[in-house]
């Protein structure tokens, strides 16, 4: 099963309700689907779940205090929310919903929410009487009008002993709502796309290699665009200094032979876009140790072997992609 949220960045704001104890499981499910989850733990939320627990399941630092200069130096509160593809508030307490509706910004959670320009989704959780109160319903209507996505609370027994609506949705339900919001539904949905990018490095010895000049930027941009259009996208990348594109699974290789094997393994795919600058030749027998200069300046002689034609291999394969696009760098 593919990771539906691969490389998606989610800022999870944990409000101060008893339902906060469910957030480690929510984080675990999001991470399992490939998401990069950054947790922001409110002061009241820390009464129900620890920063250490959230850091352990997310693999990331947990932010807590608006006025913590260490946190602000590493990542300001504005950047914290702008870096996300989605801001998720779970649990969203009556107090936090009121702050959001009125535009308050007196702590890290409310400040990050007011500063964000990214989609926001909330999972309300509170006592049934608080949920049904006119003030909460007015705030809810305001948030909906502001474009905030609401994951409706469930009905059931409350920690306070009452029964009714107000229980936070289960982690699996929140997970599905997030996936529904972030997984592309474009014209390429249901198709598999293979993209290659970057150079290949063909070793001469442990220090030197043969390569073509390539930044990989074009292939990375194409892969991200494919994913945004709904395709299940695999990027086979040579050595480049670029972050993984959002929603794209990346396989990193070094040589042309490794790239050819990775591309064949990716079949069947309906689309293949080959932007990689693959070296045409490789050394037949790379040296195991660094080749030293000769005292008498004897020229270095290298025996080269032609690398496989990856594009031709795909075109002639039993599971040939329906669409193959090739790129070539020329001098004229």
Per-residue pLDDT of the chain (332 residues; tens, 9 = 90+): 457 888 899 999 999 989 999 999 999 999 999 999 999 999 999 999 999 999 999 999 999 876 654 555 555 667 777 889 999 999 999 999 999 999 998 888 999 999 899 999 999 999 999 999 999 999 999 999 999 999 999 987 766 677 778 899 999 999 999 998 988 778 998 899 999 999 999 999 999 999 999 999 999 999 999 988 989 999 999 999 998 888 889 999 999 999 999 999 999 999 999 999 999 999 999 999 999 888 888 888 899 999 999 999 999 999 999 999 999 888 87
In a domain, 164, yes or no: yes
User: Can you give the CATH number for the domain in which 113 is found?
Assistant: 3.40.50.1950
Domain end: 115, 149, 182, which one? Answer: 182
* Torsion, CA 224, CA 56, CA 46, CA 132, rounded to 10: 50
In a domain, 332, yes or no: no
Same domain, residue pair 217 and 97:
no
Indicate which residues carry an active-site annotation: 160
Same domain, residue pair 173 and 209:
no
Q: How many domains does the chain have?
A: 2
Same domain, residue pair 311 and 233:
yes
Same domain, residue pair 178 and 196:
no
Same domain, residue pair 161 and 263:
no
In a domain, 2, yes or no: no
Instruction: Please report which residue ranges of 15-84 form alpha helices under DSSP H.
Output: 23-32, 51-58, 69-74, 77-82
pLDDT value for 228? 86
Interhelix angle 108-115/94-102, rounded to 10 degrees, is 40
- Which residues span the domain enclosing 222? 192-326
Give whole-number Cα distances, 284 to 94, 305, 327, in Å: 69, 5, 26
Backbone angles phi and psi of 253, in degrees to 5: -130, 175
Same domain, residue pair 25 and 158:
yes
Same domain, residue pair 150 and 294:
no
């Amino acid at each position: 099963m593919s990771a539906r949220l691969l490389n998606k960045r989610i800022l999870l704001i944990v409000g101060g309700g008893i339902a906060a104890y469910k957030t480690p499981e929510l984080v675990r499910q999001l991470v399992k689907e490939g998401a990069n989850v950054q947790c922001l733990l409110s002061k009241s939320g820390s009464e129900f779940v620890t920063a250490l627990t959230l850091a352990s399941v997310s693999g990331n630092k947990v932010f807590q205090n608006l006025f913590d200069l260490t946190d602000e130096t590493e990542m300001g509160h504005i950047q914290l929310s702008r870096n996300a593809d989605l801001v998720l508030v779970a649990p969203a307490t009556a107090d936090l919903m009121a702050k959001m509706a009125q535009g308050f910004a007196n702590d890290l959670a409310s400040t990050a929410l007011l500063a964000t320009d990214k989609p926001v989704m909330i999972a309300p959780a509170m006592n049934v009487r608080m949920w049904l109160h006119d003030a909460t319903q007015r705030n809810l209507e305001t948030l909906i009008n502001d474009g905030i996505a609401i994951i409706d609370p469930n009905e059931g027994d409350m920690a306070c002993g009452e029964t009714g609506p107000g229980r936070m949705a289960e982690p699996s339900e929140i997970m599905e709502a997030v996936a529904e919001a972030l997984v592309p539904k474009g014209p390429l949905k249901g198709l598999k796309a293979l993209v290659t990018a970057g150079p290949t490095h063909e070793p001469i010895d442990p220090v030197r290699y043969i390569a073509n000049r390539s930044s990989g930027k074009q292939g990375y941009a194409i892969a991200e665009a494919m994913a945004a259009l709904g395709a299940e996208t695999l990027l086979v990348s040579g050595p480049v200094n670029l972050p993984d594109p959002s929603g794209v699974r990346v396989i990193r290789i070094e040589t042309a032979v490794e790239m050819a094997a990775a591309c064949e393994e990716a079949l069947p795919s309906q689309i293949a876009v080959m932007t990689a600058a693959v070296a045409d030749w490789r050394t037949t027998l790379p040296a195991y140790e660094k080749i030293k200069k000769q005292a008498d300046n004897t020229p270095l002689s290298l025996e080269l072997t032609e690398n496989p034609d990856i594009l031709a291999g795909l075109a002639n394969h039993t599971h040939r992609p329906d669409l193959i696009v090739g790129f070539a760098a020329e001098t004229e």
